[in-house]
Chains A and B, each alone.
Chain A
Amino acid sequence: MRLIVKNGYVYDPLNSVDGERMDICVKDGKIVEKVDERKAKIIDAFGMVVMPGGVDIHCHIAGSEVNAGRLLRPEDHFKDIEAKTAITRSGVGHSIPSTFTTGYRYARMGYTTVMNPSMPPLEARHTHEELNDTPMVDKATYPLLGDWWFVLEYLRDGQFKECAAHVAWMIDATKGYAIKIVNPGGLEAWGFGRNVRDINDPVPHFNLTPKEIVRGLCRVNHLLHMPHTIHVHTNNLGKPGNYATALETMKCVENLNNGDKPVIHITHCQFSAFKGSDWRTMESGAEEIARYVNRRKHVTLDMGQVVFTDTTTMTADGPFQYILYQLTGNKWVNHDVETETSSGIVPFRYRRKSYVHATQWSIGLELALLIEDPWKIYLTTDHPNGAPFTTYPRIISWLMSRRARKRTMEKISRRAQRRSLLPSINREYSLYEVAVATRAGTAKALGLKQKGHLGVGADADIAIYNLNPDQVDLAKKPKAVRRAFQTSAYTIKGGEIVAINGDIVKSVEGNTIWVDVKLSSNPRTVVSDLKRRFREYWTVEYENYPVPEDYLTASSPVSVKAEV
């Protein structure tokens, strides 16, 4: 299949292309230098913006926690339905869409790669089954390892190499992509209903601190040469004053730096950027965090932006989710996973007139606007925790337009308005920076070499948006920006046109990407160690635990060679 996207305004930050008018040529699913025009399908992108397909670094779309949320909230689905067509399956949406609908909605926004960030390893099969049923996008998932008993024991004993070998086994067993850490130590404490207070508070029964877990896994990550850094949801999430914990977490791995490359990714940072000592005195800690990040090279972040709407919170942070239940009185699901992790789900509505919610809204944007280098902070809502992913276009319009921010600010809590830093911030994102925040930056942070750019050899994942930067002052027309990013003119996945103006014209499967770690030592030592102890730790048999490669509908491994 040959394709030429002709004459569009191309934004390809990884190749330093900033709005140049050029042609993009596609052959057999890849970007190529040139194709024979007579044999190719031509898409006229004149007057339109052309970007690589979106890459979402953190969105909860598959697995036991997400599905428990779907089951919990039939009311979330009733008003938002998608009927079956000859090409598409039916489904439901709002904050926790069914799997087919998830794929179609991403495709309509021009996104082509999504990362599911929370997979309990014991239930990895479930996550992959759902990812198999999520069409239109390439996907990957991160196993939760920060409270895994093997990790806790090896790190406590300072055995980094053994820990790394076991983590490698786990990445393969779960077909995972990156090491995910959530409230390190806190999830194990939650096994008996407790939590940890800060990064120096020892984990009950295990005698090591959250700081040691983060540092230990950071070292393991290096030893394994994983394409992404450790992906961290900090301790004390959602607690006033927690910006200090976020800073300490970032600081604690400063000396494990890897040249100029990042060594830690703090996810949905907005939820970890609160100053103050309680809900009354809570305020934004974005400035302090931005100041730190601006001077460092070892950290990347994603926003975790809040939008004023009804949504559902779901994280592996069991104790935090319980606190949310206590705050709201909403229904609450908890699911602890033996030996490994926990999770919790609570419906939540963010209100404009709530001082706290409005401040949260402001914090997310402050972080994105105060951190100068767009390669350090990416656009997410921690879907669905901050808002459904279908709100990304609205967030793009806030980033690009002071006017849009001002309009929203006028309707929020007065006290939050007075305290927000936004009125004093003039910065407006350019299309180049938006491309970084939603595709180039995320692909780079993830180490996905064929994604997030339109250079020769890249996967032909392309989004064409109906937006003309020459004719429209984008900062003054936030609605046009929002509409353009809501519904792409064309979405191309793997060289095939899959969506045109919001209609799915072709359904495609998408690959599941995972990391195939090749140990330099003999993997059999790890395997026999695990086999011996398996029954003591888990209630399933060793043979039944790993997910075999043929379980994935379309497997796409990334090979790395480890140092252990």
Chain B
Amino acid sequence: MPKLKVSLLTGRTIGQGQGKEYGKLSDDYWKSVAICEMDPDDIKRLKIKEGQNVKITTDFGSVVVKAFESARAPHPGSAFIPYGPWANLLVNSKTHGTGMPSFKGISAEIEPAPKEKVLSLLNLLKEHYKRE
């Protein structure tokens, strides 16, 4: 299966900003945040179609999200995930003495994940943060 190395950015979008005002448990939020925006050429290189699931892995974790074509192309080699619980499974918590984790410019690997599902918010919480 093809794999792609990218630099991962996390950030705000209008969709995420509006989605969170609908409530973090809403479908709107889930749809606007459990996604990844990629350069159309990069999507081709992975041999997938828009809307299919991909698995993103960094040194700190991995997560499955839906891939979409970025409207901000071209930016081959960069991918963007909106802020939220899915993105945070991938970021570096080390702050290098500044208090601030690294939310942008993280090295990541993306591969197609046709057989895996995108976790719902509740399942994500259960799987990663289950309380004893």
Q: Do A and B contact each other directly (Cβ–Cβ < 8 Å)?
A: no
